[in-house]
Structure formats: C-alpha cells, structure tokens
C-alpha cells in the first residue's frame, strides 16, 4: 500500500488563470487514479496546516511574516510569483501534507506521496518560481527532530534547479542533495552548475547535473544510472525524498528536455529499487508541471512505477537533440565529485 497525503483544498493553491500554476492538478490526479482503479492500492490521509514553528526551522521569521501579510491583501512575492489572498493558509496546508506523508513512513508505509509539494525554489529568506515554503527542508527538519534520523537524500528531478534547497543545505553533510535539471544557461533559475558541489563540511554533498535542451529519454536515464545508484549506495540514506517534477515532459510549455510518459514510470521504478536497497523509506513529492493533461498522465505513470503496475501510458520517443553532450557531462560531474565519491 502507498500512503497519499491529500486535502480537497489543495486546488486552492492557485496563482491565477493567466499564470502557469493553476491549482487543478491534485484533484485531477486523484480522480484519474480512481478511474484507472489503482486507488484501491492506496490509503489516503488528510493533512493539517503546518505549524509556523516548523516553518521557522527553515525560514526566517521576517520571511514567514511577509508571506502572512501578503496573504491578507494579495500582492506579489516576486516578479513571477503572485501572492493571492489566502496563499499563506494553502502553502501551510501543502507543507503540512508533506510533513504528514513523511511521518507515515515511520508507520507501516514504505512509500508515501504528496501530490502538492516539492517547492524547491523557496530559500531561507526569499523565493520565486511559484514557491512559498520549502516543504522539502521543513519535512527534513521535522523528521530530524522527531525521529533522530541523521542521513537524508534528496533526488530532485524537476526540470528547474532546486536552488532554494541547495541554499539551505549547501554546507550540511547530513543531506545529500542531487538535482537533475535543464542547464541554467537556458532556463530559470540560472543556477545549478556542476561546480556547485557544496561548501565546508558539505562539500561533495551537493550534486548538480545541468542537462542540455533536447536531452530525451535515453540520455536522461543514462545520466540517472551513471550517477544516482553509486551515490545512494555509498551515502546509505535513512530516508529518500524524491521530487518528481514532470515539467521535463515534451509538452510542458516552460522547458525543453523532451521526456515522454514511459520515462516517468522507469524513473519511479529506479527510485523504488534504490529505496528498497537502502532505507525502505521513500517520500514522493509531485513537483512542477504546467501542461495539465501531460502532468496527470506523467504523475499516473510515476504511481504505476511505485506500485510496479504494468498499465502505464506510453507514447512515441523523441530522438536525441542534445548534440551528443551527455557522455561529456557525465564525465565532468564524476570528475567534480571524484574526491568525495567512487564511480
């Protein structure tokens, strides 16, 4: 069984009809897995809003207060991130959903999912990229405190670099943060280059793979298989957080990596195998994606992969448009990390 943390008010995390982030995906996903008759393999839990005291373990008091104030009147957090009325409540609810999903991993569940989550652009005292609170970091700090867990691994496969998460854990060797994303020279937020490997005690524990536009399925999976299994087997995490953004899909309007549906199934299978071989605790956060139809089908395929169900959706595979850059990139990242990890 998979545990799902879901609230009917998730859809109210909506930044407007003229904005890429429209809040229809969580409920559409739940209806889709019901139609496909795999919801019977799930237990559904209703989260509560995260307490501010847990937000403050990651964010500054001034930052949290600013969002709370913007939420009263409506306003703008940053150039690309409007703050509509009530957003503080809904952002707290989404974060509370991630906390609940994390807690359930210490109950009887080996895999849990939050379909409104993965807000990796939120940093310590600022944010953009449609994010308000970094639920990834909040759940890490909650679990660290409540369950005395000491080693966390983040695998962030959203098309955008997880710059907020990187900022929070850049010097922390207890968090191995891995981000696969489209190259920052071609896409927001313009960060996440291979040289960004952490600092101080955290050096070597921040891993970026900036992929070229047109990467495609086979190259993406090759990069995954070349980097992530080796790191996970050496780090030996006690819990894995899988930010499974699907804005890498070819139909997404904001990016250009050209993945297709079956890749999400294959990635989820791999993440489940890595979890099974290390900690048997996999927290799955459905991250970005801005084409509603492709998002729901991609999330469904992730879910099928987590369950090992064969009824996943397929489509034609795109050729490699990356100009043969992947092998060179993999070699470069291994060189960057060679002082810290064996490949």
* Residues noted as catalytic: 121
- Evaluated on CA atoms 220, 223, 225, 229, the torsion sign reads negative
Nearest to 83 by CA among 100, 64, 58: 64
Spatial neighbors of 277 by CB under 8 A, at least 6 apart, are 232, 233
Distance separating alpha carbons of residues 80 and 187, to the nearest angstrom:
14
HEC sequence for the chain:
CEEEECCHHHHHCCCCCCCCCCCCHHHHHHHHHHHCCCHHHEEEECCCCCCHHHHCCCCCHHHHHHHHHHHHHCEEEECCEEECCCHHHHHHHHHHHHHHHHHHCCCCCCEEEECCCCCCCCCCCCCCCCCCCCHHHHHHHHHHHHHCCCCEEEEECCCCCCHHHHHHHCCCCCEEEEEEEECCCCCCCCCCCCCCCCCHHHCCCEEEEEECCCCHHHHHHHHHHHHHHHHHHHHCCCEEEEECCCCCECCCCCCCCCECHHHHHHHHHHHHHHHHHHCCCEEEECCCCCCHHHHHHHHHHHHHHHHCCCCCCCCCCCCCCCCCCHHHHHHHHHHHHCCCCCC
Contact 12, 90 (CB under 8 A): yes
């Amino acid at each position: 069984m998979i545990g799902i943390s879901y609230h009917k008010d998730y859809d109210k995390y909506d930044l407007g009809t003229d904005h890429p982030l429209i809040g229809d995906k969580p409920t559409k996903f739940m209806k889709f897995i019901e139609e496909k008759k795999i919801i019977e393999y799930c237990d559904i839990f209703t989260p509560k809003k995260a307490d501010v005291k847990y937000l403050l373990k990651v964010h500054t008091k001034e930052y949290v207060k600013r969002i709370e104030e913007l939420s009263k009147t409506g306003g703008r957090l940053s150039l690309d991130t409007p703050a509509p009325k009530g957003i503080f409540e809904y952002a707290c609810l989404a974060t509370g959903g991630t906390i609940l999903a994390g807690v359930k991993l210490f109950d009887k569940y080996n895999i849990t999912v939050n379909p409104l989550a993965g807000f990796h652009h939120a940093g310590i005292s600022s944010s953009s990229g449609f994010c308000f609170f970094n639920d990834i970091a909040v759940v890490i700090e909650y679990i660290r405190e409540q369950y005395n867990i000491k080693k966390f691994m983040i695998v962030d496969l959203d098309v955008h670099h997880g710059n907020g998460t990187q900022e929070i854990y850049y010097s922390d060797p207890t968090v191995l943060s891995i981000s696969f994303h489209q190259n920052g020279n071609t896409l927001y937020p313009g960060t996440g280059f291979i040289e960004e490997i952490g600092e101080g005690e955290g050096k070597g524990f921040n891993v970026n793979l900036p992929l070229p536009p047109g990467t495609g399925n086979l190259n993406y999976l090759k990069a995954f298989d070349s980097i992530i299994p080796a790191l996970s087997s050496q780090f030996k995490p006690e819990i894995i957080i899988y930010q499974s953004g699907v804005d890498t899909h070819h139909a997404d309007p904001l990016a250009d990596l050209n993945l297709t549906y079956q890749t999400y199934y294959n990635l989820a299978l791999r993440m489940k195998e890595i979890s099974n071989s290390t900690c048997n605790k996999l927290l799955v956060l459905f991250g970005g994606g801005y084409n509603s139809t492709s998002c729901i089908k991609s999330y469904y395929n992730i879910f099928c992969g987590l369950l090992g169900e064969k009824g996943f959706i397929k489509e034609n595979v795109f050729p490699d448009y990356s100009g043969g850059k992947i092998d060179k990139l993999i070699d470069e990242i291994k060189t960057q990390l060679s002082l810290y990890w064996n490949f």
